[in-house]
A and B are shown apart, each in its own frame.
Chain A
């Protein structure tokens, strides 16, 4: 059975959920093999095995995290040449797509971005134009490279996982000078508390202009924290400086597709919808019954967010107590 390379993402050895999602899809196509960069592969091994990775190609060098995407793409290109995999799957994050982009040029392969599903025959489902059209597409040149949108598929452990799976296979790919062009000199972590990452969270709570100011975003954060959710914002809120720009959801911000999206004080402009329309369940809190966001709502409350949200937070607290 042909291998399917899955580029594993991890923080300090902890395998990210999106990687488990990719492994789940990879099992439909062939035999999943994870590709790991940096140290701590031993720590991630068990989880990779659980989701069906037969082996893990490990490039342990520190340089993979020191430069922007070049070394990672080079590693994948070397593995593609050596293993002739059926496909390469990466997370559909901005960085994942960039790795895919470079790999595509190196190997002369087609890339499908923002896939929300993938068949065993490598037909990907994508939603385009802000989610209004669904297309099925495939790669017809080179080794198919597919960037899969986080949260699009439910990660399922491999019930047939063999004992001793996820064997660690060290690979030694020297990083060329060309791949060392853009050096990361510092990573600046901005306050996010313990919240999950926006594009990976199963629940996202977003606030818009209706929230009215930076201080009242605390209300959105409280609701998010009561649900274990990430916080998002509309452009009206980020432009006003109420919430940092990297949390903007929409056409010029992040695209999210969580299990639950809660839009608070957001009107639902087409550019905002473009970033959240494919969420599985959508809840809306808005005082204007005519707000277009209600067209997307599975459940909506017409009311003042300053009354509804605190009550909701309290109710969730009681429910969980």
Chain B
């Protein structure tokens, strides 16, 4: 089985993130980059599937030079190889363009399964999996809290507000995972050493057959008109419970007409 995992490098969420004054794109330089957390779950699921059913796991990352660190980390978890789509022309791409660029690469490499996180911590659009399924013309098995393969059938539990849906499709397919699905492994020392020798193919737009007019900030389908820091919340009323904390809280709810 040929599994492609889409891995995004995102700024550490524990640090304050901001937009650049000029073009209102995310300032990625000033903050440490990490693997998007849900993508670690996607990697773990890919490795488990490859272990159980045989196959190869390829990491696909679109991002700046710095993203190479995240690719190494993904390889040290046990993935076999990686493709790094790296080109200045991609900077500022929105979801529609990112899905186009990733689909171009995936079509070239071929796949039985593409696995993504269900959301990235920086863009938080949650759009990519559905967009890729649409572009690749394969079933969308998104928001998976469980994946079961019985080739060519693939079944997932799709998380919903009321519980979950059981969903079935035939491979090839696109899967996105939620956090509940597994517990990602830590890279072992051996894994870290092995990762240094694993192949990473770096592709430019031309290498990947991506039309430069369809990607990047200038061509983005959405644009930021203006932005500002959210004003801090006004300081609230804090009371200490002297045996009447619940009474006071109820009084507050009553004045605010919640009860």
Contacts and interface: CB of A to CB of B under 8 A. Distances in A.
Interface string B75-98: 000000000000000000011100
A235 to B, nearest CB: 8
B126 to A, nearest CB: 5
B112 interface: no
Interface stretch (B48-56, B164-172, B193-201): B164-172
Interface in A292-321: 294-304, 307-316, 319-320
B140 A132 contact: no
B13 A270 contact: yes
A134 B230 contact: yes
A308 B167 contact: no
Contact of A136 (B221, B227, B240): B227
B127 A101 contact: yes
B152 interface: no
B164 A188 contact: yes
Contacts of A187: 160, 162-163, 165-166
B129 A98 contact: yes
B228 interface: yes
Contacts of A260: 253, 256, 258
B173 A181 contact: yes
A182 B169 contact: yes
Interface residues on A, range: 35 or more
A69 B119 CA distance: 17
A312 B250 contact: yes
Contacts of B99: 101, 105
A252 B164 CA distance: 17
A190 B230 CA distance: 37
A110 B165 contact: no
B161 A246 contact: yes
B210 to A, nearest CB: 16
Q: B-side binding surface: helix, strand, loop or mixed?
A: mixed
A186 B243 CA distance: 49
Contact of A97 (B125, B159, B256): B125
A135 B233 contact: no
B216 interface: no
A186 B166 contact: yes
Contacts of B226: 135-136
A56 interface: no
A200 to B, nearest CB: 8
Given A102-B133, A299-B236, A189 B162 contact: yes
A154 to B, nearest CB: 14
Nearest to B242: A303
Interface in A156-188: 178, 181-188
Interface stretch (A33-41, A44-52, A137-145): A137-145
Given A98-B130, A138-B222, A189 B163 contact: yes
Interface in B119-140: 119, 121-122, 124-131, 133-135, 137-140
Interface in A244-289: 245-246, 248, 251-253, 255, 259-260, 270-271, 274, 281-283, 285, 289
Interface stretch (B1-9, B17-25, B63-71, B184-192): B17-25
14 contacts: A94-B143, A98-B140, A108-B221, A110-B222, A112-B222, A135-B226, A136-B226, A181-B133, A183-B167, A188-B164, A252-B119, A259-B258, A270-B13, A312-B246
Interface of B: 13-14, 16-19, 24, 37-38, 94-96, 99, 118-119, 121-122, 124-131, 133-135, 137-143, 145, 155, 157-170, 173, 178-180, 220-230, 233-234, 236-241, 243-250, 252-254, 256, 258-259
